[in-house]
C-alpha cells in the first residue's frame, strides 16, 4: 500500500506536538499557568476544523457548478471530519475553561456560537440521511452546506468580536498573539498546527476513498 511522505510527516509532527506539548517548558502567565499547554491541542483542532469546513464549503459550490459526485462526497466527508474535530475542540476547551474560568461551560458568545455552529452541521449530516434520492440529496445538501458555512463564520468569528467575551481574541479581549509566547512554545505550536492539518486531510482522504469504493460496490 502506497504511503505518501506527507502521511509520515503528519504522524511525526502530531506525535512530536503531543510529547513536546506535555514536556517542554512553558511561560508561567497569570491565570493560565500550565493550562497554556492546551494551546497545542484546543486551538490546533479548531484551526483544522475550519480548514475542513472550508473544503466542504468549496466542494459544495463545485458540486452545484459541475454536478460531479466526487465533489458531493468530498463536501460530505469534509463536514463529517470537521464536526469530529469541532467536538474535540469543544471538549478540550471545556477542560481549559474549568481550570481558568472555574466552570466547564460559561455563558460566553464564543462558546455558545461554537456549539450552535456544530448543531448547524449536525443538521447537515441528518439532512443527508433523510433524503433517499442521491441527486436530490446532493443538491439540497450542497445549498444547505453553503448557508451553514456562512452561519458558522457569523457565529464563531463575527458575533463574538461584537460582544463582551472571556475568550481570547473576542469582544476586545486580547488574543494569544499579544502574550509572551516564547520560542519554546512556537517550536511546538507551529508543528502542531501543520501536523493536525495533515492528519485531518489524511482522515478526509480515507473517508472519501471508502465512500467511492462503497458507491462503486452498489453500482455493480
Instruction: Give the ranges where 24-68 is alpha helix by DSSP (H).
Output: 42-66
- The confidence band for 134, taking pLDDT boundaries of 50, 70 and 90, is confident
For 73-97, how does the pLDDT look when each residue is reduced to its tens digit (9 = 90+)?
999 999 999 999 999 999 998 888 8
Yes or no: say if 198 and 10 are a contact pair by the CB < 8 Å rule: yes
Digit-coded pLDDT (tens) for 102-116: 888 888 888 888 999
Look at residues 67, 86, 165 and name the one whose alpha carbon lies nearest to residue 124: 86
Asked if residues 100 and 35 have their Cβ atoms less than 8 Å apart, the reply is yes
Q: What is the mean pLDDT of residues 8-24?
A: 91
pLDDT of residue 161: 79
Q: Locate cell 450552535: which residue?
A: 116
Q: Where is pLDDT greater, at 56 or 100?
A: 56
pLDDT at 124: 95
Contact 48, 85 (CB under 8 A): yes
The span from the CA of 32 to the CA of 39, in Å, is: 10
Amino acid at each position: 500500500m502506497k504511503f505518501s511522505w506527507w502521511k509520515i510527516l503528519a504522524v511525526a509532527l502530531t506525535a512530536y506536538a503531543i510529547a513536546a506539548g506535555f514536556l517542554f517548558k512553558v511561560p508561567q502567565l497569570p491565570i493560565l499557568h500550565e493550562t497554556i499547554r492546551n494551546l497545542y491541542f484546543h486551538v490546533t483542532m479548531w484551526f483544522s476544523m475550519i480548514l475542513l469546513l472550508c473544503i466542504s464549503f468549496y466542494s459544495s459550490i463545485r458540486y452545484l457548478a459541475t454536478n460531479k459526485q466526487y465533489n458531493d462526497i468530498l463536501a460530505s466527508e469534509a463536514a463529517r471530519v470537521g464536526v469530529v474535530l469541532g467536538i474535540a475542540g469543544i471538549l478540550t476547551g471545556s477542560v481549559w475553561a474549568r481550570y481558568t474560568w472555574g466552570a466547564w461551560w460559561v455563558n460566553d458568545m464564543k462558546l455558545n456560537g461554537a456549539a450552535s455552529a456544530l448543531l448547524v452541521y449536525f443538521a447537515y449530516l441528518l439532512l443527508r440521511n433523510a433524503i433517499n434520492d442521491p441527486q436530490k440529496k446532493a443538491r439540497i445538501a450542497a445549498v444547505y452546506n453553503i448557508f451553514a458555512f456562512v452561519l458558522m463564520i457569523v457565529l464563531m468569528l463575527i458575533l463574538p468580536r461584537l460582544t463582551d467575551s472571556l475568550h481570547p481574541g473576542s469582544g476586545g479581549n486580547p488574543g494569544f498573539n499579544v502574550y509572551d509566547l516564547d520560542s519554546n512554545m512556537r517550536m511546538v505550536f507551529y508543528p502542531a498546527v501543520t501536523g493536525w492539518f495533515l492528519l485531518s486531510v489524511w482522515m478526509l482522504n480515507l473517508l472519501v476513498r471508502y465512500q467511492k469504493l462503497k458507491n462503486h460496490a452498489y453500482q455493480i
